Amino acid sequence: MPGLRFEKLHLAPVAGVDEAGRGPLAGPVVAAAVVLPARGVPRGIDDSKKLSAAERQRLHARLLDCAHVGIGIVEPEEIDTLNIYWATMKAMTIAVDRLCEGLGCPPGHVLVDGNRLPRWSYAATAIVSGDAHSRSIAAASIVAKHTRDTIMLRHAEDWPHYNWHSNKGYGCPHHLAALREHGPTPLHRRSFAPVAAAALRFAPPESSTPQSQHLVGAPSLVPDS
């Protein structure tokens, strides 16, 4: 379990922040901000990528019961407008703002997974691989990941061709094949290169204009922090 070394360096309450969903071709990017309780922290908190879906679900429920939690969600249309990097920064900002509403005050410090911070007024520290080193960030990674997975499972029922119940919107072979065969859905990020290419193939002939050419050159992913 990640420790509390970084939390102990700062004035309480200390919030951990992490996101889920920078890389997928479809669905929102989700961030979570978590302040753990002084006592009664659930056992088993770890980097969400190291946990099974069942473990994340269990810990998510426990964290909602015992911790202060804020969640920020930015949908695909806004991701395309802002780009994925700034959409992630916005999701983190929304998550901390909502955490503050529950706390009734700003956190004493915010620990953010990665090497960059949003443009906000909160005292904060970026920690590379923070979900492996900070228990608060690890808790946030669990909440963000479980929240986003739940959203994608719900959307999978409406768009069964894309196998989102398994890939959660990431560009696995099955998802890419369905994208080429059926084209993008409203949940797809059209600024991501594979989706832009599929959108061009399914556009009516009159749409193959400079606007379509702009899509081909649209940015794909900003590298993860």
| pLDDT averages per 10-residue partition of the chain, 225 residues | 95 97 98 96 96 98 98 98 98 98 96 97 97 98 98 97 97 96 97 96 66 37 37
Check the annotation: does 47 bind a ligand: no
46 and 29 in a single domain? The answer is: yes
Measured CA to CA, the distance from residue 45 to residue 139 in angstroms comes to 6
Asked if 120 and 188 sit in the same domain, the reply is no
Q: How far apart are CA 71 and CA 34, in angstroms?
A: 9
Residues 6+ apart with CB under 8 A from 177: none
In this predicted structure, what is the pLDDT of residue 202? 85
What span, in angstroms and rounded, lies between the C-alpha atoms of 113 and 115?
A: 7
pTM of the model: 0.90
Question: Residue 185 belongs to what domain range?
Answer: 159-216
Q: 84 and 41, same structural domain?
A: yes
Domain presence at residue 170 = yes
Say what the pLDDT of residue 214 is: 35
- pLDDT given at position 1: 85
Q: What is the torsional sign of CA 7, 10, 11, 17? A: negative
Q: Is 101 annotated as a binding residue?
A: no
Q: Do 119 and 185 lie in a common domain? A: no
Bridge partners (DSSP) listed for residue 148 = none
Q: What is the pLDDT of residue 206?
A: 65
> Number of structural domains, the chain?
2
Residue 139, C-beta contacts closer than 8 angstroms, at least 6 positions apart: 16, 34, 36, 45, 59, 63, 67
**The CATH number of the domain where 143 resides is what?**
3.30.420.10
Is 113 known as a binding-site position?
yes
